[in-house]
Structure 1
């Protein structure tokens, strides 16, 4: 596929991932954001309220093929009138990016090819283990019940971290 210079520039702008501050500045006030926890088999989805103060678990998307997964995310965005995405970025403990982080970046890049959606990444190190610990210790959920809620709860954890970081 060959693009002229203007088309390449337009495409680069469409796939740019924003900082959290730029995401906040580029999305209309009074609109919620969605948070995504991109797992190997599922996508946990959370939503903020319209004031972007509180994140709540929303949905779990069972991954099939990328196009279907992307359309499921976009359908949830449209249904909630969400203006942006916060995607968990699973960094290694030393802050470097491994294959899972690269996969998350590829998801964002490919999603942008379907629709230019403002999105930002949020460090999600230890989010799933923190959520697992909470679900076991505080809610005493068994393994089967945890499996049904951990990914969307992790998405809420990721989104809440981003919202709190913006307020700090």
Structure 2
């Protein structure tokens, strides 16, 4: 469910954008003023141990992120298929890892139609060979998602995207505490500035 618009009702500070894939996960970051999103790093997806989710949660804490936007892939008709379910499950896992780290950073799912297509086009226009795209395209796509989110926040004066909560197992008797985090909107801007912090798959 999308939260109702309340003027100025969105966090100010460093935010992260996440592009989830079956093999790699792209991560982007924006400045504290929410002006420009830049590619940050690429993580190797580990669906068995979810080590990449833990690394991402630790990174969010380390950077003092106030919000995280996970791209939700939809078809041009607005339908959600397997890739959208994968992104949703990833967002829930991220919320759980953040809670384990003692963080309540909000995670939000935002529409990311064509973000990867746009990233490939931008890299091509920047003169990068198609063979080298794989190394950075995920983080460039994540930057597009994040840029769109922060732009929409400023344009609307409110938060964007759908808030995500973790599927937590029931706690022990008498333990009624449950934390709920959230995420923001996405974007489709051309972002190629420095592609810093790239990690080859498997590198931590």
- TM-score for the superposition, normalised by structure 1: 0.80
5+ long unaligned stretches in structure 2: 156-204
Residues 90 and 124, structure 1, Cα contact 8 Å, conserved in 2: yes
Partner Cα separation in structure 2 for residue 128 and residue 150 of structure 1: 7
**Which residue is 1:40 aligned to?**
22
Is the Cα contact below 8 Å between 1:18 and 1:120 reproduced in 2? no
Looking at structure 1, the residues matched to 4 and 94 of structure 2 have their Cα atoms a distance apart, in angstroms, of 18
**1:121 paired residue number:** 109
**Partner residue of 1:60 out of 42, 61, 73:** 42
**CA distance in 2: counterparts of 1:151 and 1:67, whole angstroms:** 18
Deviation at 1:21, TM superposition (A): 6.2
1:131 to 108, 111, 119: 119
**2-side partners of 1:146 and 1:106: how far apart?**
26
User: Following superposition, which runs of at least 4 residues in structure 1 exceed 3 angstroms of deviation?
Assistant: 17-22, 24-27
Whether the 8 Å CA contact 2:10–2:153 is kept in 1: the answer is no
Instruction: Confirm whether residue 74 of structure 1 aligns to residue 53 of structure 2.
Output: no
Q: How does 1:1-40 map to 2 (within 5 A)?
A: 19=3, 25=9, 27=11, 29=12, 31-40=13-22
Q: Among 62, 87, 93, which residue is 1:110 paired with? A: 93
Structure 1: which 5+ runs fail to align? 1-16
SS in 2 for 1:86: strand
Counterpart CA distance in 2 for 1:20 and 1:48 is 24
TM-score by length of 2: 0.67
Query: Size of the alignment, in residue pairs?
Result: 148
**Cross-structure match for 1:142:** 129
Superposition CA RMSD, Å: 2.1
CA distance in 1, matches of 2:49, 2:113: 24
> 1-side partners of 2:77 and 2:107: how far apart?
24
Q: Identify, as 1 or 2, the structure richer in helix.
A: 1
